[in-house]
Amino acid sequence: MNFHYGTDRLTVAHTLAIAKRQLKGILHDSARQAIAASEAHVQKIVDQQTTVYGINTGFGILANTSISAEDTRTLQYKILQSHSVGVGNPIPTEVAKIMLITKVHALAQGFSGAQLSTLERMIWHIDNDIIPVVPEKGSVGASGDLAPLSHLCLPLIGLGEVIVNGEIKPTREVLQQYNLAPVQLGPKEGLALINGTQFILSFAVKAVERMHYALEAADIIGAMSLEALTGTSAPFDERLHQLRPYTGNQLVAQRLRLLLGNSDIMQSHIDCGRVQDPYSLRCMPQVHGASRTAWLHLKELTETELNSVTDNPIIFSAHDTISGGNFHGQPMALPLDYCCFAAAEAGNISDRRSYLLLEGKWGLPVLLMNNVGLNSGFMIPQYTTAALVTENKTLCFPASADSIPTSLGQEDHVSMGSISGRKLNTVLDNLEYILAIELMSACQAIEFRRPLKSSAILEAAHGYVRSFVSFAEEDRIFAVDILKIRQMLSDFSFVQHVNTWATQQGVTLNEQYPAFSL
């Protein structure tokens, strides 16, 4: 089964599948026709010497500077060079690949004046995993992601660097190896390539995927902590959440009911007399649910952006062009910042549960180890969660609240959405470590409830962790354990294992809420 660039609707799931080589993206004949027609419109504009921004004028503040017909192609070559000013480390290769995928899909809709040969070369890069090196910093998120997109497209004209099998190589060397010549850009094409939101968008796609799995893991891990702390499932009663019917809250409450169902540990203290649990246990539906709502908003807007044309000017015909602002990143910058807060809060409440597990209450040993004093037990891992939570708080300043004029005031309001996207993924890095430490602590604590067992689903989760990390009788280098558990969160195998196991038992954790799936 193939995905058709420019004609099919692109989803987050499709984008990730193409990036992971699970789905192949191709150009349908109808897209090829639209691309050819758009290219012809641009050539007609040049031949008739109709003044259109970016085709036969300069860029930005130079919009009133005319460019001769013979120089229109040179202009497009130069814009890729002049705008390649990114700095910092290369972005993850998968994110750069997603930039290529999303740029092809936008151009293939036939409103940008790109050549068919250029799109075919970009698809060649995608299919062969020859991915441009894109520096992480330099975009202000309007007029699109100019600097990172320039670096992304340098290899098309034989410049810049690419990553092949994890190794950075000069583009010219790789093109020679494949007997390929650089693309000769057409009029407007350089501007079409670098004008757009694909840097912001690609970080959003990764954030949607990563945050989905982090929130799925948070519910499972939170349920394990509640079991270890002999908390009650009463606050997850469906009737309670029907009285405040936020869908995200209802989803989390349902998941917690299913995760805790038929637990021996839960039944063992049903009449213990405890009136209320701390908020970090009792309010998981409200807190995790609010983060779920933010995630859903980001997913919905990301999929709108995935199917949008975001360069400038837009070519409807040789006689109908509009110079507008579809390149402005604000529609993505705001939800990315919102999700930054939501991800940080998921880490904040997780840290509180890790702390509760150490207090020595409700039958657990202080610091989750019997021989403390000589041993520090699980005291210090919680220091790490505290540090990461505070780091996330410092990253919660909304980049979209700032704007610095550029292009001598022509571009006088910018979104800074590129920073929002990068920042959210940094918060998600920290969240995965925070959750890993809670999961390590919860697995340790549950073993002090033996011979009682948790629910079958949570025992499967516990068993999966124990296949990598053993119970700690005494102190050891816990950083090693944290890295192993974080890996099973970042590669999504922990959640996938639990979901697969639950499905085999006839339990579908998200069945009633399909919108919250990838």
- Cβ neighbourhood burial of 118 (10 Å; 0-12, 13-18, 19+): buried
Tens place of pLDDT per residue across the chain (518 aa): 899 999 999 999 999 999 999 999 999 999 999 999 999 999 999 888 888 887 888 777 777 778 787 887 888 999 999 999 999 999 999 999 999 999 999 999 999 999 999 999 999 999 999 999 999 999 999 989 999 999 999 999 999 999 999 999 999 999 999 999 999 999 999 999 999 999 999 999 999 999 999 999 999 999 999 999 999 999 999 999 999 999 999 999 999 999 999 999 999 988 777 879 999 999 999 999 999 999 999 999 999 999 999 999 999 999 999 999 999 999 999 999 999 999 999 999 999 999 999 999 999 999 999 999 999 999 999 999 999 999 999 999 999 999 999 988 888 999 999 999 999 999 999 999 999 999 999 999 999 999 999 999 999 999 999 999 999 999 999 999 999 999 999 999 999 999 999 999 899 898 789 999 99
**pLDDT value at residue 510:** 86
Q: Which of 53, 213, 338, 433 is catalytic?
A: 53
Q: What is the CA radius of gyration of the chain?
A: 26
Q: What is the pTM of this model?
A: 0.97
Helices of type H across 128-262: 146-153, 171-177, 189-194, 198-228, 238-242, 247-260
**pLDDT value at residue 65:** 77
User: What residues contact 76, with CB distance under 8 A and at least 6 apart?
Assistant: 185, 186, 187, 188, 189, 190, 191
Contact 37, 6 (CB under 8 A): no
From 517, 1, 445, 418, select the one nearest 209 (Cα to Cα).
517
| Per-residue DSSP letter, 165 | T
Which fold would CATH assign to domain 2-196?
A: Fumarase C; Chain B, domain 1 (1.10.275)
Question: What gap in Å lies between CA 217 and CA 259, rounded to an integer?
Answer: 12
Question: What gap in Å lies between CA 128 and CA 42, rounded to an integer?
Answer: 30
**pLDDT value at residue 96:** 98
**pLDDT value at residue 275:** 79
Superfamily of domain 204-310+325-516: Fumarase/aspartase (Central domain) (1.20.200.10)
Name the residue ranges covered by the structural domains of the chain.
Answer: 2-196, 204-310+325-516
Within the chain, how many helices (H) and strands (E) appear?
Answer: 20, 9
**pLDDT value at residue 57:** 80
What is each CA distance from 56 to 36, 53, 507, 515, in whole angstroms? 20, 6, 61, 46
Residue count of the chain, please give it. Answer: 518
Q: Is 433 a catalytic residue?
A: no
Contact 130, 171 (CB under 8 A): no
**pLDDT value at residue 56:** 83
From 397, 351, 343, 354, select the one nearest 377 (Cα to Cα).
354
